[in-house]
Amino acid sequence: MENSRNKGKRGEELAMFHLVEKGFEILALNWQKQHLEIDIIAREGTTLVFAEVKSRSSVDFGDPITFVDPKKQARIIRAANLYLEENPTEEEVRFDIIGIWYGPKGPVLEHIPDAFYPLA
């Protein structure tokens, strides 16, 4: 039986392959700083994308995307700000969520671009 850490890692790999297939350039995977993490940092054209990946074994307790609550969003935004301090850019920035659940017929992936925004 696959544990949740392995499912999460497999979900991140599926998300990365999805983004590459869509023409994204992957810049970093599991970027960490000050106990904060961004699952995938990518570039789509002239946009820098910070993507959070959520994997679940089922949707019995809700769609995986709903687990990226405002508290989690705030942590991702703080991490993105740290990344941007180290890697300044003039590119537009956006935050995507990729939800994956492992259904009976295989993984189901949902990608939501511009899923949330930093508060002004």
**Distance between CA 50 and CA 78 in Å, rounded?**
11
| pLDDT at residue 3 tops 70 | no
Instruction: State whether residue 10 is helix, strand or coil.
Output: helix
**Distance between CA 102 and CA 1 in Å, rounded?**
13
Instruction: State whether residue 90 is helix, strand or coil.
Output: coil
| pLDDT at residue 36 tops 60 | yes
Q: Give the model confidence (pLDDT) of 53-68 as tens digits.
A: 998 875 656 666 778 9
pLDDT at 1: 45
pLDDT at 59: 60
With a CB cutoff of 8 Å and minimum separation 6, the contacts of 17 are none
Exposure string for 30-62, b = 16+ CB within 10 A, e = fewer: ebeeeebebbbbbbbeeebbbbbbbbbeeeeee
More reliable by pLDDT, 118 or 35:
35
| pLDDT at residue 45 tops 50 | yes
Whether the CA torsion 57, 58, 61, 66 is positive or negative: it is positive
pLDDT at 94: 97
Neighbour tally for 100: CB within 10 Å: 25
Q: Give the model confidence (pLDDT) of 71-114 as tens digits.
A: 999 999 999 999 999 999 999 999 999 999 888 888 999 999 99
